[in-house]
Structure 1
Amino acid sequence: MSRRLTPGAAALAAGAALMLSQAPAFAQAATPTQTGALAQAANPVPVANPAQAHAPAPAAVARKLFRAWLRGDRAAAAKVASPAAVSSLFAYVYRAPDRFAGCTGNACRFTYTSVRVPGGLNGILMVVSGPKVTKVYTSSHLTKPSLAATSLFKAWTLNDRSRALQFAAVPAVKTLFRTKYDPKGVTHTFQGCSAEPKGHACAYSYEGGAMLMHVRGSKHAGYDVRSITYIAD
């Protein structure tokens, strides 16, 4: 006996067949547009920090501080430099350097082309961090040979080459920093300074020998360490 489908049953069967024929569509791969959207949701694009994105270049910050110093404007200087940096710059005893020597990384220099000042720094070095100068190194005017020697030695113990260049010529700094200071190593004892041809020799003794810092200059022009030699017992 043949089976008959009532109109209602026929409609249900047709609907089921339609649903079955559409089911594989849900297993199909997402469209390119959908794939991109999913990828962005899973790996969102990092948003730049507004402060970093708009941070001024080190050269621009250094120049602003330099101009404020030239005007004698401490208030303007304080807007682009730390209090310590402002104090260091406004305590500088020499006339303003005549050349902007550019920046290496975040360290910007202003140097002299027509005069000589003690030390290898040859002017002013500014360390910039973000929108402000955080540290200032300057050529120093030291009125005693012993101050040049002890100041250089202190910079060595701090492993601070820029500081060392305030008190010594480049060759002397290179010689000293060939060896890193070891606080647990041999003890250096300052023995004072004595006259030698063209200047003074300031000695640091240690077990097995001594380090001689050869200082040149005058009380008027200022002293700096020009070279370093070592002697063995």
Structure 2
Amino acid sequence: MIQIEKVTVEDVPMLIIGKQDLKNIPLPGFIFLHGFMSAKEHNLHYAYLLAERGFRVFLPDAIMHGERGGDYSEEVMSKSFWKIILSSIKELPKIKHYITEYGYVIHDRIALGGTSMGAITTFGALTQYEWIKAAVSMMGTPAYQDFTHGMLKQGLEGISEAEVKETLDALTKYDLSLQPEKLNGRPLFIWHGEKDPVVPIAGIRTFLESQARHFKDEQVTYVTDEQAGHAVTRKGLLEAVNWIEEKVI
């Protein structure tokens, strides 16, 4: 039986999913980060499939989302996009401390991943934390600065030039496309729809092509879907789960 436990790590609401009969045993761990305008509960299908494979999965809410949300307009949320991502990156150490301190995970078997905003967050976290054993991006991009320029071209209004510069400067240290060596040989799974209008596939494709010399053989698994937009297909979901089981357990 799969068990769902609800906890709060300091101020971060989080669900913990794993097999009930393995409750008191440290397991390989996967921290799964949700997308923009989503919430932790929306990714329970990933957590269930991974729990069946012997993982313990952790689903936190980002600021301004889920239990931490409020009556924010989409405009306010969009302007806070990078604030949300950077907050999630900075909160990961306390989540890691909690799940290791209380014996939920095997210390050197913690992977990280997510969808859309959660995948973008994952790329930034890879520049900061060596304890991430493997990473999964579903519809993400590591090119923080390029993606910001793309958002501005799409008509994100009400942001001054000074604010744009401040944001770009703050993002530099988290932009994996500018420091691919920080992957440091860690396995990376990437899934992306060819027709994604929200996080265009060009960002991840350019990264992989321009930085190929930094990757070891078979380090990166890159899967695309010619017909998919900004939604992960069931096939993509299952490919990700299979890959996580192979690389982390």
**TM-score, normalising length from structure 1?**
0.28
Query: Which protein has the bigger strand share?
Result: 1
**TM-score, normalising length from structure 2?**
0.27
* Structure of larger gyration radius: 1
Query: Which protein has the bigger helix share?
Result: 2
